[in-house]
Amino acid sequence: MTAPTETEEKELQEFYADLDKVALTPLWTITKDLLTATPRPKAKPWLWPARTYRPLAQRAVRLVPVERGGERRVLSLVNPGLAGAPYAAGTLWGAVQCLGPGETAPAHRHTPGAIRFVLEGEGVFTTVNGDACDMYPGDLVLTPSWAWHDHQGGGETGMLWFDGLDVPMVQALDAIFFEPHPLDSQPVDDRNASERTYAGRPGRFAEGALGGGPETPLAPVSSPLLVYRWADVDERLSALAEADPDAASAEIEYTNPETGTAVLPTLSCHALRVFAGRTTAPRRITGNRVYVVHEGAGHSVIDGQRFDWEKGDMFAVPSWSVAEHHADVRADMFAIGDAPVLRALGLYREAPAEQQPVTSVFTPLTGDGA
Ligand code: GTQ
Ligand code: FE2
């Protein structure tokens, strides 16, 4: 092709200007940013240390009451790659919620689904559609889409837990609905009823992750089991370790005991145990994940950047980044992901990756209050 003449160039510029005036844009000028060879998440790999958020959560308990209107005392993880949006990754809400002794977070429901993973404290229960679910450190509690839920604190310590929600996905689909319950606390019909029904059922965990092959069933339902106790997770991880003593790590996915699929239609929950002195094989998957360190200490290398972590720290692993995890002492991690959506839509991919040279070390933000 010969270079355009001056007249041709002028005509072309006029053409682009005319397109813009009537809200049209030519694909050929944007295709490289649109149809990228591989996913290019805006969210960055990032880490929020417990030693930074804990004192701030305690300040929130002193300074800000939990009331109707505000509804929840929640500090949301803000990934700096997302232009100020209150999301831990492009598809995932992650947050720290704190409830002081004797406080109540009022009952409401919303279309985004949520999971809670307890960090510390005692005496709190979350009531989900009338079923009061007791919470202890390491437990997972589900509050599925449109289920009434409120949190009530007894005890003397208050509680800190991790919230994972699918808010960015439901937001992107323009499907957010919210409704306050007429009462501050909904009536409690029963205690730990779902747990009693499903306790001891075999289908509560799957080895590894569910994957994404054509045989993967769609997961459009929320698990009827609302509480997964850490003791059961620990038992499963220990059994896997015993079965394969040379493995660097053991991983399970929490599953719906009725269907064997992910716990929520939009969110998967995972537990990863990395053994002392060992490193997981580097790999990449489509979909975002947010990790919470339940016990232990070590570091992860994400796209060549080293993230040192310890108990209570939270970190985001964006889609298709290469991630590997190393434990100094045995480390147990909880994670949420958007895998059910990717699986259901045929978008789930997983690939091994090369061992990564560490090119930088992440320095967490500490602020002045630390
Ligand atoms: O506990 O109900 O982190 O409604 C965000 C929204 C927690 C909750 C969050 C919520 C909740
Ligand atoms: Fe809520």
Contacts of 83 (CB under 8 A, 6+ apart): 42
Residue 78 tokens read as: 């803000």
Q: How far is the C-alpha of 159 from the C-alpha of 166, rounded, in Å?
A: 22
Answer yes or no: is the C-beta of 97 below 6 A from any ligand 1 atom: yes
**Spatial contact of 79 and 44, defined as CB atoms under 8 Å apart:** yes
Q: How far is the C-alpha of 324 from the C-alpha of 45, rounded, in Å?
A: 12
Answer yes or no: is the C-beta of 82 below 6 A from any ligand 1 atom: no
Q: Which of 312, 297, 270, 256 is nearest to 120 (CA)?
A: 312
Q: Which of 256, 210, 252 is nearest to 234 (CA)?
A: 252
Answer yes or no: is the C-beta of 92 below 6 A from any ligand 1 atom: no
Residue type for position 49: P
Q: How far is the C-alpha of 215 from the C-alpha of 211, rounded, in Å?
A: 10
Question: Ligand 1 atom closest to Cα of 116?
Answer: 1
Which protein residue has the closest C-alpha to ligand 1 atom 11? 72
Answer yes or no: is the C-beta of 165 below 6 A from any ligand 1 atom: yes
Q: Which of 110, 258, 104, 114 is nearest to 188 (CA)?
A: 104
Q: Specify the DSSP element, H or E, that contains 274.
A: strand 268-274
Answer yes or no: is the C-beta of 126 below 6 A from any ligand 1 atom: no
DSSP codes, 210-224: ----TTPPP--S--S
**Spatial contact of 352 and 34, defined as CB atoms under 8 Å apart:** no
**Spatial contact of 267 and 166, defined as CB atoms under 8 Å apart:** yes
Looking up tokens 């889609």 gives: 319
Q: What is the pLDDT of residue 156?
A: 87
Through-space distance between the first and last CA atoms of the chain, rounded to whole angstroms: 61
How far, in Å, is the centroid of ligand 2 from the Cα of 145?
9
Entry pTM = 0.93
Confidence tier at 217 by pLDDT (50, 70, 90): low
Q: Which of 72, 171, 185 has the most ligand 1 atoms within 8 A of CB, as the residue to mutate? A: 72
- The percentage of the chain sitting over the pLDDT mark of 90, rounded to a whole number, equals 87
Q: Which of 323, 325, 294, 326 is nearest to 310 (CA)?
A: 294
Q: Which of 74-83, 161-170, 202-211, 317-326 is predicted with the least confidence, judged by mean pLDDT?
A: 202-211
**Spatial contact of 259 and 265, defined as CB atoms under 8 Å apart:** no
Answer yes or no: is the C-beta of 52 below 6 A from any ligand 1 atom: no
Neighbours of 325 (CB within 10 A): 24
Q: Domains of the chain (ranges plus CATH)?
A: 39-356 (2.60.120.10)
Contacts of 19 (CB under 8 A, 6+ apart): 25, 26
Question: Ligand 1 atom closest to Cα of 110?
Answer: 4
How far, in Å, is the centroid of ligand 1 from the Cα of 170?
14
Q: For residue 170, give the ligand nearest its CA.
A: 1
**Spatial contact of 249 and 280, defined as CB atoms under 8 Å apart:** yes
Report the chain's mean pLDDT, rounded to a whole number.
Answer: 94
Q: How far is the C-alpha of 327 from the C-alpha of 276, rounded, in Å?
A: 5
Residue 354 tokens read as: 């090369």
Q: What is the pLDDT of residue 370?
A: 46
Given a cut of 90, is residue 93 above it in pLDDT? yes
**Spatial contact of 271 and 265, defined as CB atoms under 8 Å apart:** no
Q: Which of 201-210, 270-279, 290-299 is predicted with the least confidence, judged by mean pLDDT?
A: 201-210
Answer yes or no: is the C-beta of 74 below 6 A from any ligand 1 atom: yes
Which protein residue has the closest C-alpha to ligand 1 atom 7? 163
Q: What is the pLDDT of residue 216?
A: 58
Given a cut of 90, is residue 203 above it in pLDDT? no
